[in-house]
């Protein structure tokens, strides 16, 4: 399973809650054996595709939330 799909499934499993970018990065590094930078890049790609949406907290930190609309293309 690709990193992009793992992130998508993680964010989707937390719906309706959000998940902090740092938590995704830690999971990518410690559990999935990917670089943190790759996780950030895949998150931005998912946002661009419309699969997830960024939500900013009061500290301007990004968190991600699943969008109910199914994505057109994951890969």
Label each residue of the chain as H, E or C: CCHHHHHHHHHHHCCCCCEEHHHHHHHHHHCCCCCHHHHHHHHHHHHHHCCEEEEECCCCCEEEEECCCCCCCCC
Instruction: Report pLDDT digits (tens) over 10-57.
Output: 999 999 999 999 999 999 999 999 999 999 999 999 999 999 999 999
In a domain, 7, yes or no: yes
User: In total, how many domains does the chain have?
Assistant: 1
- Kindly state whether residue 37 falls inside one of the protein's structural domains: yes
- CATH code of the domain in which 44 resides: 1.10.10.10
So what's the pLDDT on residue 73? 62
What is the reported pLDDT for 68? 81
pTM of the model: 0.86
Residue 58 domain flag: yes
Give the mean pLDDT of the chain: 92
**Residue 72, domain member (yes or no):** no
Of 70 and 57, the structure prediction assigns the larger pLDDT to 57
> Is residue 72 very low, low, confident or very high in pLDDT (cuts 50, 70, 90)?
low
For residue 75, is it within any domain? Answer: no
Tell whether 8 is covered by a domain: yes
């Amino acid at each position: 399973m690709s990193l992009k799909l793992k992130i998508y499934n993680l964010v989707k499993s937390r719906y309706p809650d959000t998940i902090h970018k740092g938590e995704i990065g830690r999971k990518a590094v410690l559990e999935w054996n990917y670089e943190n930078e790759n996780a950030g890049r895949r998150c931005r790609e998912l946002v661009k595709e419309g699969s997830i949406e960024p939500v900013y907290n009061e500290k301007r930190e990004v968190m991600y939330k699943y969008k109910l609309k199914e994505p057109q293309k994951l890969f």
